[in-house]
Each structure stands twice: as C-alpha cells, then as structure tokens.
Structure 1
Amino acid sequence: MKYTGIDLHSNNAVVAVIDDQDRVLYCKRLANDLSSIVAVLAPFREDLQGVVVESTYNWYWLVDGLMAAGFVVHLANTAAIKQYEGLKYAGDERDAVFLAHIFRLGLLPEGYIYPPQERGLRDLARKRMQLVQQSTLNTLSIENILARQLNLHLNADQVRHLDSAAVTALALPLHIETALAANLAVLRTLQAQIRAIESVLHREVKLRPEGSVRLADVVRLCGVRVVILIR
C-alpha cells in the first residue's frame, strides 16, 4: 500500500510517496502544475490509499483536480496537526513525508472538502468577516483621533453617524481633519459593502434538504445573523 502527502506552497508543491513501511518511494518539489503532479502519482495509483493535501489558502485547484483525476483526496487540518509537532521534522520535503506518515497511521486530522458549488457562499461570508474587521479598525482609528485631539469619547454607533458638517464643526487642525475624513470615507464604503453581502447571505443561505447544517454553521461562525429557511 502507498500513501501520498503534498506540502503545498504558493508556486510549488512537494510531493512525497511512502509505502506501508514508511520507506520514501518518491519525494520531489514540483511546480504548481496539475498535469505534472498527476503524472507523478499515476504510477502509484493502483496501490495508493489516498493523497493528503495541506489545507492552505490555495488548495481548491489541486484538490479538485486530483479528485477529477480519480484520486482519493484528504484535506489535512493543519491547525489540528500542531498536536503532533513533537513528531514533525523540519523542511518541506520532510513535511510532505510527515503528512503521508500520519495518514498511514490513521492520525490525520482532516478538514471538510466543501463541494465547489458551495464554496462561493462560504467565501463570501468570510469576506464579510474581513470587511467587518477592517470597519472596526477604521472606527477605532476615528475614536482614537477624537480622544487624542479633543478628549471626545464617541462610541461606534456615534462614529458611524458622523457627517461632513459634524466633522467641520469639530474645528480640528487641517491635517487631522483630513485624516479623520479619510477614515470616514473608507468606513462608509466598508459598511455599504457589508450590507450588500449580508443581503445575499440572508437570501441564499439555507439548510440542505437532508437537514445538514454545515453551510449554515459556517455562516454563523463568520458572524452573520441569518434566517435559515428549509426548502
């Protein structure tokens, strides 16, 4: 039996194949080219128990491509793998071998491979979370400016309701007013985009007919208050 681990990076991937005795049969760094990776794994296909790919920011193309080529793919939950750090070797080549090794041992913590048709909505929820974080940063920046310059303490809701007339009435030094106005302009744009995304999420997030809540759970984890409808 054979086991494959792939340590995926931005423009390359280290592919390792081991046997059931942990002997390394193949280990090489390849360019991020699906056809090249499939060609390397093809000779091992008959005995290959599965291919482990790291859950990195760019895994979609590789996992989808390998599955389309007929390989059984497992997505490694890299956060959970930290519990095995004491066993892990240093270096990308050894990392790829390590992924194959813990898969062989049945110790691989796996991530869920979302169907491609559902990823867009999940990623949109993640984008909302990113924009909310940026909105908070701009709100805090405005609060800090006003506290520093005027000993004026506004909450987030009061900051969001500031308009040009209110900013002018504060009689801040020109450069400070310009900085505050920049924060406000960015904040308004962010708030508009957040509302637009939330409108889509409220409209489209639903339970699957079989009652699965995976997608709904992801949206809730991303901080969106949604009304879940059952078809």
Structure 2
Amino acid sequence: MLFCGIDLHSNNCFVVICDDNDKVLYSRRLPNNLAEICAALSPYRAELSGVVVESTYNWYWLVDGLIDVGYSLHLANTTAIKQYDGLKHRGDESDARHLAHVLRLGLLPEGHIMPQPIRAVRDLARKRMQLVQQRTTQIVSIQTCLAQQTGGRISGNDVKQLIDADIDKMGVGMVEAIGIKANLAVLRVAESHFRPPHCRFRSME
C-alpha cells in the first residue's frame, strides 16, 4: 500500500510517494500542471491508498482534478499538523513526506472538501461579505473626513445618498473633496455588485 503527500505552492508542488514502511519511492518537484502530476502518479495508482494535499489558498484545481480522475483525496489541515520536535532539516520534500507519513498512520487532521457547486456558493458569499465590509469602510472614511474638516456628523444613510455635487458644497478643501469623491466611487462599485436588480441595497445589511 502506498501513500502520497503533495506540498503545494503557488506555481509548483513537491510530490512524494512512500510505502507502508515510509520508504520513499518517488520524490520530485513538479509544475502546477494537472496532466504532469497525473502522469507522475500513474505508475503507482493501483497501490495508492490516498493522496493528501495541503489546504492552501490554491488547492481547488488540484484536489478537484485528482478526484475527477479517480484518486482518493485528503485535504490536510496544515495548521493542525506538527512536525516532529526533533526534526532538524525541513523543506518541501520533508513536508510532503510528512504528509504521506501522517496519512499512513491515520492521524491526518483533515479539512472538509466541500463539493464544487456548494463551494462556489460559499465563495460567492465570502466575496459578497468583502464588498459589504468595503462599503462600510468607505462610509466610515467619509464620516471621519467630514468630522475632521467640519466638526459635523453625517449618518451612514445620508452618506449613501451623496453625489459629487454635494461634496463640492460641504466646505471641505479641494484635496479632501477628491478623497471623499474617491470613497463614493468605491462605495458605488460595492453597491452595484452582488445586488439583484430587483433588490434595494439594504438587502446587504
């Protein structure tokens, strides 16, 4: 029985395949190319018990691709994996080998591989939340600038109704007005995305 660990990076990955005695049978750095990775795993496929990939920011393409061609995939929760305290030499090969080792022992802390359709909805919700947060940042920035320059206060709802002409009448400096208008421009972009045409912006609250 064989076990594969893949240490994934932005443009390459280190692939290690070990047997049930932790003997390394394959160890090589490969480009982030699904066809090349599949070709590397192919000679060992019949005996591969599982493939473990790090839960990095860019794992989707690799995990999904290997699942699609029939491999048993595991997503490593790398923050929960501790290397041996006495390990003196660390590197990509060592990390990949350790992933395979922990998988073999049945001690791998795993992350959930959410199905692609549901994952897309989750990621869209996260993107929407980023825009909501960005909108709030712009509103607070405008409120802060006006408080600094005029001593006045303006509600968040009133900020949303502002147009560039309103800024010119507020008695702030030319440079400050440019900054506020920039905030408004970003605010409008945030409002225009992820808002169904039939809904008001308050649906994002």
Query: Is TM more than 0.5 here?
Result: yes
Q: What is the identity, as a one-letter code, of the residue corresponding to 1:54?
A: E
C-alpha distance after superposition, 1:104-162 (max 9, x if no partner): 22221212222223332222112102212222222232222122222334343342233
TM-score, normalising length: structure 1: 0.76
Task: Give the equivalent residue in structure 2 for 1:80.
Answer: 80
The answer to whether the Cα contact below 8 Å between 1:124 and 1:197 also exists between their aligned partners in 2 is no
Task: Give the equivalent residue in structure 1 for 2:96.
Answer: 96
| Count of residue pairs the alignment pairs up | 199
Which of 123-132 and 176-185 deviates more?
123-132
Q: What is the identity, as a one-letter code, of the residue corresponding to 1:35?
A: A
Task: Give the equivalent residue in structure 2 for 1:36.
Answer: 36
> What is the CA-CA distance between 1:38 and the residue it aligns to?
1.2
Q: Partners of 1:190 and 1:91 in 2: how far apart?
A: 42
> What is the CA-CA distance between 1:2 and the residue it aligns to?
1.3
The residue correspondences of 1:82-161 to structure 2 (distance < 5 A) are 84=82, 87=85, 90-161=90-161
Task: Give the equivalent residue in structure 1 for 2:185.
Answer: 185
> What is the CA-CA distance between 1:198 and the residue it aligns to?
11
- Distance change >3 Å, CA 139–CA 91, structure 1 → 2: farther
Q: Partners of 1:35 and 1:22 in 2: how far apart?
A: 26
> What is the CA-CA distance between 1:175 and the residue it aligns to?
1.4
Aligned residues: percent identity?
Answer: 50
Q: Partners of 2:124 and 2:98 in 1: how far apart?
A: 33
The answer to whether the Cα contact below 8 Å between 1:132 and 1:194 also exists between their aligned partners in 2 is no
> What is the CA-CA distance between 1:51 and the residue it aligns to?
0.2
Measured on the aligned residues, the alpha-carbon RMSD in Å equals 2.5
The answer to whether the Cα contact below 8 Å between 2:4 and 2:16 also exists between their aligned partners in 1 is yes
Task: Give the equivalent residue in structure 2 for 1:15.
Answer: 15
The answer to whether the Cα contact below 8 Å between 1:128 and 1:197 also exists between their aligned partners in 2 is no
- Distance change >3 Å, CA 172–CA 118, structure 1 → 2: same
The residue correspondences of 1:156-175 to structure 2 (distance < 5 A) are 156-175=156-175
> Segments of 4+ in structure 1 off by > 6 A?
none
Q: Which runs of 5+ in 2 are unaligned?
A: none
Q: Which runs of 5+ in 1 are unaligned?
A: 200-223, 226-231
